[in-house]
Structure 1
Amino acid sequence: MRHSNRAPEGRGRVTTAATVALNRAGVAFTPHVYDHDSAATDFGAEAAVALGVEPDRVFKTLMVDTDNGLAIGIVSVSSKLDVKALAAAVGAKRGAMAEAVVAERKSGYVVGGISPFGQKTALPTVLDDLALLFETIYVSGGRRGFDVEVSPADLVAATRGQVAVIRRA
């Protein structure tokens, strides 16, 4: 994997708050740009198909409002987030998906392009343990149509996160 923010296939440089944060942290990543369909609503599935990657390796970044405050859960696009498991992982009893406007305001990204890296407000972050099955995974690079490929260990280190089972069985 290269440590760069140069997009493949001659599409030029892609700079987002996520790539700036990754470069600043010295995290190796590979950028992947694809044509986003503005009619798409399942952004993770769109990314998996466009990038030709199995859906288990593409992860979505979701914000949850718990009784201890906001938290980030990162699960495969082939899975559903278990909000209660995420809440428990961050020491809370209850949780609910954050409203889109809150997620956008706190992360600095638009829904469908929320990256775990470079968020405006650093939040407790939990990566689902399914990610550990892969050498690298794909997450949003900070905009729709742009993913970054990183190792799960680097994602956890860069977000000061933790790993737990947070997907629904």
Structure 2
Amino acid sequence: MAATRKAAFDPVVDADARVLILGSLPGEASLAAGRYYAHPRNAFWRLTGAVIGHDLEAMDYETRLTALRRAGIGLWDVIASAERSGSLDAAIRSPEAADLRGLVERLPGLRAVAFNGGLAARLGGRILARGPAALITLPSSSPAHARPFEQKLADWRKLSAWLD
């Protein structure tokens, strides 16, 4: 499969967000569906639902986004665009960074930026290292990150401290 240039979605965030979760770049299933975390085996909606106390998996996409925003969570990606064949972060080439600083500056109540996986943490951490929010690296919600759900959830639950 040839690498093609892929672009991130627009951020989903309200001005009063307290936590911003940043992935790397949407995978093929998400790009095809035009929505964040669309792969049926990606645990993102299950993990964040457990953090905020709502069954996000049972909701339609727009309702999921509304529930996250109401809970004080925003979503985006650290990469604005990149060349990639398939969905794996390891296949990303020539990444162009998203304007993370610009977004963070527009979020006065932001307490923490959580990175969904190692690549997001490495790239986003460099950009936001001197920012006003705590930086948290979470285990990837991707099915490619083979770790039991309960272990991932233990780390993801730490977000609740920043949402209270």
> Which has more helix, going by share of residues?
2
TM-score with structure 2 setting the length: 0.29
TM-score with structure 1 setting the length: 0.28
